[in-house]
Amino acid sequence: MASTIGSRRFNWGERTFVMGIVNLSPDSFSGDGLSATGDALAQAKRFAAEGADIIDAGGESTKPNYEQIPINEEIARVIPAIEKIRRELDVPVSIDSYKYEVVKEAIRAGIDIINDIWGLQKEPRLANLAAKYNLPIILTSNQRGHPADSDIMGAVIRDLERAVGVCERAGVPPENIIVDPGIGFGKSREQNFEVIHCLAMLKKLGRPILLGVSRKSFIGTAPDLPTDERIEGSAAANAIGIANGADIIRIHDVKFMTRMAKICDAIVRRKYG
């Protein structure tokens, strides 16, 4: 399966694609929140130079127990940055938002992908926008508010099947639907590790798989690891995810993780050059 995103062709399975995170939120869990549009553009340019295939821009923190900000504030944070990035880079840009009005403004600003961390639970109309504007949409399995006590993979797969069904009924082409198991979204520490271990089970959905583990708190809970130094743990979790079928990794440390992904591809996909 292949997808055209922006001006680029993504042949899924050929290699691991890298999504670089640009946070326009001052309370980002990872401490990398930006407040200035110019800083966001500079970071996006650096990520593109370091090998990012997609830039993911978001204006609201989605860490556990996050506080939802007003729609107009989220628009004010993220849309000027997206406009600048689109003017100066040809790398595809995604909007990390589950709010209909924010996504509509981001489409006007030129985004190429919708990234919905609620997997159409909060706003199913995002599927209609994806269909209308022929945009890929990332569907995240989110268990916040309804945690799965057992069989986390069963819960994730059922949730993603529901979200994929919403997209299909809205007319989103199959190649424009990307699934994300939702590491950190309403899952326990053990469930996060289990999802990565069993990631290959998502292949039954027949969609590209995005994995977002970068700097997340569960990494700091492994034995004898510092809670506030997570780059090595993020690399390990991403490497196992690639081995188990991840097509895209969503990351903060683009240069480091891009190099790691190339080694993983040489081993897993036998891509040597």
Q: What is the pLDDT of residue 84?
A: 94
Which residues are annotated as catalytic? Answer: 216, 250
For the cut 50, the answer to whether the pLDDT of residue 30 exceeds it is no
For the cut 90, the answer to whether the pLDDT of residue 63 exceeds it is no
Q: Which residues of 131-153 are buried (b: 16+ CB within 10 A; e: fewer)?
A: beeebbbbbbbbbbeeebeeebb
Q: What is the pLDDT of residue 35?
A: 56
Pick the residue with more confidence: 67 or 159? 159
Q: What is the pLDDT of residue 148?
A: 86
Q: What is the pLDDT of residue 112?
A: 98
Domains of the chain, CATH where assigned:
14-268 (3.20.20.20)
Cα 138 versus chain centre, distance = 7
Q: What is the pLDDT of residue 37?
A: 82
Positive or negative, the CA dihedral 264, 231, 181, 223 is positive
Cβ–Cβ contacts within 10 Å for residue 46, how many?
A: 13
Mean pLDDT of 47-65: 90
Mean pLDDT of 213-231: 81
Q: What is the pLDDT of residues 114-129, one digit of tens each?
A: 999 999 999 999 999 9
Q: What is the pLDDT of residue 271?
A: 75
The pTM of this model reads 0.93
For the cut 70, the answer to whether the pLDDT of residue 67 exceeds it is yes
Residue 18's pLDDT band (cuts 50, 70, 90): very high
Q: What is the pLDDT of residue 218?
A: 85
Mean pLDDT of 38-64: 91
Q: What is the pLDDT of residue 170?
A: 98
Mean pLDDT: which of 56-65, 75-84, 228-237 is highest?
75-84
DSSP string, the chain: -EEEETTEEEEBTTB-EEEEEEE--TT-TTS-----HHHHHHHHHHHHHHT-SEEEEESS--STTPPPPPHHHHHHHHHHHHHHHHHH--S-EEEE---HHHHHHHHHHT--EEEETTTTSS-THHHHHHHHTT--EEEE---TTS--SS-HHHHHHHHHHHHHHHHHHHT--GGGEEEE--TTSS--HHHHHHHHHTGGGGGGG-S-BEE--TT-GGGGGSTT--TT--HHHHHHHHHHHHHTT-SEEEES-HHHHHHHHHHHHHHHT----
State the Cα–Cα distance between residues 216 and 30, nearest whole angstrom.
8
Q: What is the pLDDT of residues 152-176, one digit of tens each?
A: 999 999 999 999 999 999 999 999 9
